[in-house]
Amino acid sequence: MDAGEDRVLLLRYGELSVKGAFTRRRMQSLLARNVEKALEKERVDHSGVRVTQGRIVVWSPDPLDRGLDVLSRVFGVVGVAPAWHRRFTGLDEVLEWARDRSVEAVRGRRFKVEARRVGVEGFTSMDVRRRLGALLVDEGGVVDLRAPEVVVNIEVRGEDVFLYHSEVRGPGGLPLGSEGRVLALVSGGFDSPVAAWMAMKRGTRVDIVFFNLGGREHELQARAVSEYLACRWGYGVRMDMYLAEMRWIFPILNARFPQGFWTVVLKRAMFIAAEALARRIGAKALVTGESLAQVASQTLHNLAVTDEAVEIMVLRPLIGMDKQETMDLARRIGTYPISEKTQEFCAIASPKPSTAVDRAKLNKLMEKHLPRETILENTLPHVHRIRLGEECNWQELTHRAVEHARIECRA
Ligand code: ATP
Ligand code: MG
């Protein structure tokens, strides 16, 4: 082994680097802190985390694969590469070293070299590309700049040289904890966990509220997916979940509202309770999984009417997404199988909803039969808070949800 050589994970972060100097430094150290917390939480041994210009280096993570997996779930990280590292001891020596480390990957294959140079003078990154390329051609590689099978990345950063042949994509976004707090309404369906994830991606601490409409199974399902989000993606912040009961509303809906109004009334009631909770915990916005015109309750008209019930800002990260795009994202972030497992058992039967509820009539009916105070009095005193991301038992919760669904819905 070459003297001074070691294995590291090299983290690339994107958007942070275009912020002003002060913000950038704050974001970088927050990201480095979250990286440490992620490694700590997943018990990946490492001997240090260092912020260099435009990169975060994690030294000797062990095992490397686990570190790679964990760090590709830290918000703010654009890519993670398992890399070799050594000190810069002159260009000739470094290029020979890079060649030796790359021969196996490149021989008989189409390759290209990508090079970066920061903080060293006397040569350009083009020199590095050309010379390392030539050395590897001598070893049996074939240069192909358009469709390479292997990309040899070499970065000379002051005293440090990094070499890597592959990179795992991270989520991008901004470090958790950099952008205040929001309260996400999570139902356990496919959409709302993805919406919560997207709010997390932009750096907000996301707390979750769930309104129980379907019994034990419904609650377990929402808890499972929320636990997963906190456990797998919540590195660096605390996440709480608020469990609220809303089945008290069904007799009122039945007796007092036309069926076409039900989903909008229900949503308004949830928003009103969620707004009060958000104010109490200092969350600046609600987050929902609604997407424009996906279902009857999500027409532009009905979304607008729903919004009018509250003053707090409602964020809808999925607003422009097709169902398929949301599903694809759910798969990528890992919430899909959890939502899917329980979803099939008992969908709450909903009557044919109106695509454009009569606003005046709705307001009048709600004032009379379901005023704000009624919603708050019936919901808030019984809210139960649990802390997420500690037990990481989402699999067990999913399993229990499925079991309960068998009992409750197949009967
Ligand atoms: P999802 O897939 O998230 O369940 P959906 O496509 O079924 O959404 P709706 O049932 O109209 O759509 O719900 C719209 C949004 O309202 C959800 O994305 C979620 O943010 C919120 N919501 C719905 N039901 C609940 C619930 N029981 N508890 C908390 N939030 C809810
Ligand atoms: Mg739903």
**What gap in Å lies between CA 185 and CA 285, rounded to an integer?**
11
Contact 245, 210 (CB under 8 A): no
| pLDDT score, position 172 | 95
Q: Which fold has domain 5-169?
A: VC0802-like (3.30.2130)
Q: What is the dihedral of CA 72, 175, 188, 311, to 10 degrees?
A: -160
* Ligand 1 atom with least separation from CA of 297: 11
User: Token pair of 326, please?
Assistant: 């949301």
Kindly report the protein residue whose alpha carbon is nearest to atom 7 of ligand 1: 189
**What gap in Å lies between CA 295 and CA 292, rounded to an integer?**
8
* Ligand 1 atom with least separation from CA of 184: 20
**What gap in Å lies between CA 189 and CA 287, rounded to an integer?**
14
**Burial (0-12, 13-18, 19+ Cβ within 10 Å), 43:** exposed
Is 181-408 in CATH node 3.40.710.10? no
**What gap in Å lies between CA 363 and CA 365, rounded to an integer?**
6
* Ligand nearest to the CA of residue 242, numbered in listed order: 1
Please give the distance, rounded to the nearest whole angstrom, from the Cα atom of residue 234 to the centre of ligand 1: 21
CA distance readout (Å), 217 to 221, 380, 408, 409? 6, 21, 8, 9
Beta strands in 76-215 (DSSP E): 77-87, 110-118, 142-143, 150-157, 160-164, 168-169, 181-185, 205-212
Mutate to test the pocket of ligand 1, among 191, 286, 342 (most ligand atoms within 8 A of CB): 191
* Ligand nearest to the CA of residue 193, numbered in listed order: 1
Give per-10-residue mean pLDDT for the chain (411 aa): 78 77 88 96 91 87 87 96 95 97 96 94 95 97 96 95 96 94 94 97 97 89 96 96 96 93 93 98 97 81 93 96 95 94 52 83 96 97 96 91 66 33
| pLDDT score, position 345 | 42
Collect all residues with Cβ–Cβ distance below 8 Å to 318 and sequence separation of at least 6.
191, 194, 195, 198, 289, 290, 291, 326
Contact 227, 397 (CB under 8 A): yes
CB atoms within 10 A of CB 200: 28
What is the residue-wise DSSP string for 49-107? EEEETTEEEEES-BSHHHHHHHHTTSTTEEEEEEEEEEE---HHHHHHHHHHHHHHHHT
Q: Is the peptide bond before 61 cis (omega within 30 degrees of 0)?
A: no
Q: Is 211 in the pocket of ligand 1 (CB under 6 A)?
A: yes
Q: Is 178 in the pocket of ligand 1 (CB under 6 A)?
A: no
Q: Is 336 in the pocket of ligand 1 (CB under 6 A)?
A: no
Contact 161, 154 (CB under 8 A): yes
Contact 223, 397 (CB under 8 A): yes
Residue range(s) occupied by CATH 3.30.2130.30 in the chain: 5-169
The amino acid at residue 330 is A
CB atoms within 10 A of CB 206: 29
Please give the distance, rounded to the nearest whole angstrom, from the Cα atom of residue 105 to the centre of ligand 1: 48
Contact 286, 185 (CB under 8 A): yes
User: Token pair of 195, please?
Assistant: 């919406």
Residue range(s) occupied by CATH 3.40.50.620 in the chain: 181-408
**Burial (0-12, 13-18, 19+ Cβ within 10 Å), 28:** buried
User: Token pair of 1, please?
Assistant: 């082994």
| pLDDT score, position 406 | 64
CA distance readout (Å), 170 to 1, 71, 81? 30, 7, 10
Please give the distance, rounded to the nearest whole angstrom, from the Cα atom of residue 156 to the centre of ligand 2: 50
CA distance readout (Å), 142 to 56, 110, 113, 338? 32, 5, 11, 45
Kindly report the protein residue whose alpha carbon is nearest to atom 26 of ligand 1: 187
Nearest to 50 by CA among 8, 3, 82, 16: 8
* Ligand nearest to the CA of residue 323, numbered in listed order: 1
